[in-house]
């Protein structure tokens, strides 16, 4: 696996004539990724988000490559569904008679609402485990309602409130079913994580190994891999194309679980839940920390992977909404709220806009009118 | 006033040989600003923040210019102290017998803790006004403790909890003292805002006018002006150099109020409060929305203004801490927590680092060894 390290390629420095003035015109990390999303206030472009987007089919043929799609990024929670594959493939899901809600929460960055906590507890219980086995650490829930509930009850958050507790419960259940010692299940050198790395390697056609892994916020490994590989991987996750039958069936079962229980994957009012509530069966979508967002489009046979350079969720979600709207006709209506341009202030006054950059719009317009898009649509009957 | 509008200067587009692949290599907003801060997880640079930094003296002579320091940005809350000048200059502060806490909260992005609410109420009360006069709108307080208190009491936030309520109270008090109708005091065409624009224009040596203003989150005008102008303005605010005596005295009084009551300017545990609690008299510092941060260094006679392109507070605060540490010897100790490299996860494991980029470090090293720095230090006796 190629690991991109901390070596800026170019740094043009211009010393002014005055000895006290130093102008460093440009510093590159890998390369300059294009601006994807711009925020304008009044007449001024106030802030902008640069980033990278890859859209590919299961053969790795690219429909869109914006920015440096070959540079490895850390996929974080955007690949929880791939990390959950072992739960189904290992036979654990069948052995423990897991239902759709439990499978969905194993793929989730959940809000910590009662519906999520209940599903995680049930998953743990079916596998003969409990909350004390979770190695994810604790943080205040993502859901405001869940935070309020804890505060009103005078309580502090526990590991079960961690947005990753479902993923951890799923990993633990898989370990137990596989006869592995669940202790240390989160470490990169644990057999469970080695197997998960093997599954992701096969799906994304890369070669991940434990010693290349970084550590995620919840303490499990997060392996560097490129957006190009992730896009192809999500196309394969979307369709099963090129996967062994048992692996393809596991992908299908996890997708269907998330489509059936989209609120379990994130929570009320959140991007992934909104998207899958309206677009189930045509769009599987999952965000992660630091501006990563991935999607699988079973009907079109495509995968999408994007990352915003600066890690901003607002940039990643807006970019994903734009890409989905360009590829899936119903997404423009389903994601109308996410595609809204107006920025309002605390009094509800219109003060500016957030919008796709000219480059992103141009790239998406090119997809929409490309012969490739027509070919995909014809093939999928969309 | 030059207003920079939404016209990308260059957009290199490379169409792949395959008709279905579109690579847009680069899109510029004005120009590429350098990377200031990098986050690394494991071996991968995961996210980074580009931006612009200007450091100048009261004559506008530049000590540092990193990125496009001439492009107008929106200064947001970073210039609240300049917006509060009218409260002192108009004679309102004397007439209403305002104390240091009330002046500090007029310059604040406060946390909504009892100490802040009390100071804002007192300011309003002395001017014969009340909370219903505030036009800032409501949001949940910045302070977690203040949020918890509201939730436990079953209450919703009010305009007084808005981090800008002190600024609004100060504007209202100035309007009343000046005999202006306080209604609509927040609008760009109100006489009060015209006078504030005049003061900022004088301090920053620009020409602001009402029709160039964007609208801030709290509904008052925010005028586009360059970081170069802001840096010079804050050097003048720091020293009074080049300002009329009454204006210089007002600047001195506001600075001293913030130095005496740093917790009023932000809140416990927040950057500006930490910095001014330890570095009072040598560093006045104030952050704003969308990654803007300004500072005034009375002893060195310098002003600092920076903005992170993507608007991230973590990038702006880190960059400001690095610049302060390079210029003010005691800042490296006082801001040790803000300069900490380690990134910890939810379980407290070390998973990565956040650090100044190579370009920022090189630029700051150049300042520290420049003849200009020695000259400034000698002049100020530091």
Per residue in A77-112, pLDDT (tens digit) is 999 999 999 999 999 999 999 999 999 999 999 999
Which candidate, A242, A326, A247, A235, places its Cα nearest to that of A284? A235
B309 interaction partners in chain A (CB closer than 8 Å) = 47-48, 50, 310
**A164-173, B20-29, B179-188, B222-231: range with lowest mean pLDDT:** B20-29
pLDDT tens string B207-241: 998 788 999 999 999 999 999 999 999 999 999 99
Task: Describe chain A by its helix, strand, coil percentages, rounded to 5.
Answer: 45, 20, 35
Q: Which residues contact A335 (CB under 8 A, 6 or more apart)?
A: A274, A275, A278, A321, A324, A325
Mean pLDDT of chain A: 91
CA–CA dist B254, B236 (Å, integer): 13
For residue A352, CA distances in Å to A108, A156, A326, B165, B197 come to 33, 38, 24, 22, 21
Q: Which residue of B has its CA nearest to A291?
A: B47
Q: Please indicate whether, in this complex, the C-beta atoms of B22 and A348 are within 8 angstroms of each other.
A: no
Indicate whether this complex's ipTM tops 0.90.
yes
Q: Which residue of A has its CA nearest to B146?
A: A151
Best of A30, A32, A44 to mutate (most B CBs within 10 Å, chain B): A44
DSSP, collapsed to helix, strand or coil, labels residue B365 as helix
Tokens 């009329």 locate to B244
pLDDT band at B381 (very low <50, low <70, confident <90, very high): low
pLDDT band at B380 (very low <50, low <70, confident <90, very high): low
Say which of B24, B32, B311 has its CB closest to residue A47.
Answer: B311
Predicted pLDDT at A205: 98
pLDDT band at B32 (very low <50, low <70, confident <90, very high): confident
Q: Which residues contact A104 (CB under 8 A, 6 or more apart)?
A: A119, A166, A257, A258, A260, A261, A262, A264, A265
Tokens 């509530």 locate to A277
Is a pLDDT exceeding 70 seen at residue A343?
yes
Predicted pLDDT at A381: 56
pLDDT tens string A35-83: 999 999 999 999 999 999 999 999 999 999 999 999 999 999 999 999 9
- Residues B113, B118, B119, B120: what is their CA dihedral angle, to the nearest 10 degrees? 90
Q: Please indicate whether, in this complex, the C-beta atoms of A46 and B290 are within 8 angstroms of each other.
A: yes
pLDDT band at A7 (very low <50, low <70, confident <90, very high): very low
Which candidate, B171, B160, B159, places its Cα nearest to that of B196? B171
**A2-11, A190-199, A251-260, A349-358: range with lowest mean pLDDT:** A2-11
**A199-203, B19-23, B137-141, B378-382: range with lowest mean pLDDT:** B19-23
Q: Please indicate whether, in this complex, the C-beta atoms of B63 and A362 are within 8 angstroms of each other.
A: no
Which of A362-376, B6-20, B55-69 reaches the highest mean pLDDT? B55-69
Q: Please indicate whether, in this complex, the C-beta atoms of B315 and A311 are within 8 angstroms of each other.
A: no
Predicted pLDDT at A333: 96
The secondary structure of A188-214, three-state, reads CCCHHHHHHHHHHHHHHCCCCCHHHCE
Q: Which two tokens stand for residue B220?
A: 């008052």
CA–CA dist B318, B338 (Å, integer): 7
Q: Which two tokens stand for residue A96?
A: 């423990």
Distance from CA of B192 to the nearest CA of A (A): 20
- State the burial class of residue B305 (Cβ atoms within 10 Å of its Cβ: 0-12, 13-18, 19+): buried
Predicted pLDDT at B17: 27
Predicted pLDDT at B153: 96
CA atoms within 13 A on the CB side of B74: 27
Q: Which residue of B has its CA nearest to A162?
A: B346
Question: Helix B191-204 crosses helix B245-260 at what angle (to 10 degrees)?
Answer: 90
CA–CA dist A20, A30 (Å, integer): 30
Average pLDDT over residues B275-297: 97
For residue B360, CA distances in Å to A355, B49, B318 come to 30, 11, 11
pLDDT tens string A133-178: 999 999 999 999 999 999 999 999 999 999 999 999 999 999 999 9
- Please check whether residue B346 is in contact with residue B326, taking contact to mean a CB–CB distance below 8 angstroms: no
């Amino acid at each position: 696996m190629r690991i991109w390290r901390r070596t800026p390629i170019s740094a043009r420095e211009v010393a002014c004539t005055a000895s006290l003035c130093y102008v460093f015109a440009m510093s590159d990390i890998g390369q300059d990724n294009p601006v994807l999303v711009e925020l304008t206030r009044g007449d001024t472009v106030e802030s902008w988000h640069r980033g990278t987007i890859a859209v590919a089919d299961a053969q790795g043929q690219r429909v869109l490559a914006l920015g440096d799609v070959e540079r490895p990024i850390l996929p974080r929670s955007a690949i929880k569904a791939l990390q959950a594959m072992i739960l189904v493939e290992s036979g654990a899901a069948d052995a423990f008679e897991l239902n759709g809600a439990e499978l969905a929460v194993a793929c989730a960055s959940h809000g910590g609402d009662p519906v999520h906590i209940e599903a995680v507890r049930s998953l743990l219980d079916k596998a003969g485990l409990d909350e004390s086995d979770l190695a994810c650490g604790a943080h205040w829930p993502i859901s405001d309602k869940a935070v309020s509930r804890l505060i009103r009850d005078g309580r502090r958050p526990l590991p079960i409130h961690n947005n990753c507790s479902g993923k951890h419960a799923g990993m633990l259940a898989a370990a137990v079913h596989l006869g592995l010692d669940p202790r240390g299940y989160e470490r990169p050198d644990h057999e469970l994580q080695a197997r998960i790395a093997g599954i992701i390697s096969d799906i994304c056609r890369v070669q991940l190994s434990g010693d290349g892994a970084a550590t995620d916020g919840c303490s499990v490994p997060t392996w560097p891999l490129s957006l190009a590989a992730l896009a192809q991987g999500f196309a394969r996750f979307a369709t099963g194309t090129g996967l062994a039958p048992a692996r393809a069936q596991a992908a299908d079962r996890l997708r269907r679980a998330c489509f059936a229980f989209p609120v379990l994957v994130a929570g009320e009012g959140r991007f992934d839940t909104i998207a899958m509530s309206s677009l189930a069966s045509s769009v599987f979508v999952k965000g992660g920390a630091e501006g990563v967002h991935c999607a699988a489009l079973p009907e079109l046979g495509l995968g999408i992977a994007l990352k915003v350079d600066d890690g901003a969720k607002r940039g990643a979600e807006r970019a994903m909404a734009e890409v989905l709207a360009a590829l899936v006709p119903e997404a423009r209506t389903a994601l109308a709220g996410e595609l809204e341009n107006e920025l309002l202030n605390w009094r509800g006054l219109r003060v500016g806009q957030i919008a796709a950059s000219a480059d992103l719009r141009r790239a998406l317009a090119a997809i929409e009118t490309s012969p490739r898009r027509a070919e995909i649509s014809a093939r999928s009957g969309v």
